Structure 1
């Protein structure tokens, strides 16, 4: 029996090690590249809705529901509609509005929220909002909740809305003419 001895240069011995180091790095960049490609595709396809200042209101630990708020800007020449929202943070997600019914404000689920052409729709407390019902875990201030918004043209946008306390979302009260 004849033994064949392969002559391996130091460089040849380095190749497997270099490949072992390089391949995981190459594959690690794929999700980021896919996200960049998706963002580019959304822009290239004429996505015209932008989401500004999204947040979720911090609810008390025992609460089972809360609201998500944001401004939806429509840069297109046609009105658009938000038709659905989804989130892993709640078992049920609905679009809601507050309605004055005989002097009593009541919250109601709505089919959609219109975003006027070259305009915006403001989702805010006491008005339109995304309702997160049956929360899957207690909320923590500062955490970011994923919310996927679905529009009437079939497009979607997933945002990461930070959880904010009620105090941080309220406008300061004017004290100019108050007498104490």
Structure 2
């Protein structure tokens, strides 16, 4: 067959193959986009959680600045996975740490160790915040000044670990004092809602 005729026959076939391939790729992209966890989250949340590249996404981590004694780390933990995740321990270089919660006792808000660890349900988020669950720094070996960056390591129930960094900020919202003693009332904390729970920038 003359080459000119062969060329005319092959060109439509090539165009048709390219069109079929393009449709197939587009279909795969649509399926992936609609089923992915970021399809229902905001661009900001997506960027924050994916940047962690670990077991959990960690949004807005921060530490209460303190000169000595105790303080705590906070943030929002995001679990985009299909299974619950349990934090069983946390460590940092400037202090031994424990997982803590706030709970009602005799009509007062008290701080105590979080039994069983901190659970982040599948496809959900869990806030670490003043007045709630938090990562407790028990005995600072040096002051934590506003602007300092601390590195933390989380250990999970299945043995995996994850490192994240949090910046120290001044905080006066609830006037809480992380006093020694589990289950003791925290001065300035009350059971009433509406306390300010935000660090000052």
Unmatched 5+ residue regions in structure 2?
Answer: 1-51, 174-196
Is 1:146 paired with 2:151?
yes
Q: What do residues 102-133 of structure 1 show as CA deviations (whole Å, max 9, x unaligned)? A: 21111001130010110011000000000001
2:140 corresponds in structure 1 to 135
Structure that is richer in strand per residue: 1
Aligned counterpart for 1:50 among listed residues 43, 57, 77: 57
Is 1:113 paired with 2:118?
yes
2:161 corresponds in structure 1 to 156
Compute the TM-score of the two structures, normalised by the length of structure 2: 0.58
Q: What do residues 51-108 of structure 1 show as CA deviations (whole Å, max 9, x unaligned)? A: 111110112x2x3000100111111111111111001010x20000011012111100
1:97 corresponds in structure 2 to 101
Q: Per-residue deviation at 1:171?
A: 7.1
Q: State the 4+ residue runs in structure 1 displaced beyond 2 angstroms.
A: 167-172
CA distance in 2, matches of 1:132, 1:75: 27
Unmatched 5+ residue regions in structure 1?
Answer: 1-41, 173-180
CA distance in 1, matches of 2:160, 2:132: 24
1:170 corresponds in structure 2 to 198
State the number of aligned residues: 125
Compute the TM-score of the two structures, normalised by the length of structure 1: 0.64
Cα RMSD for the two superposed structures? 2.1
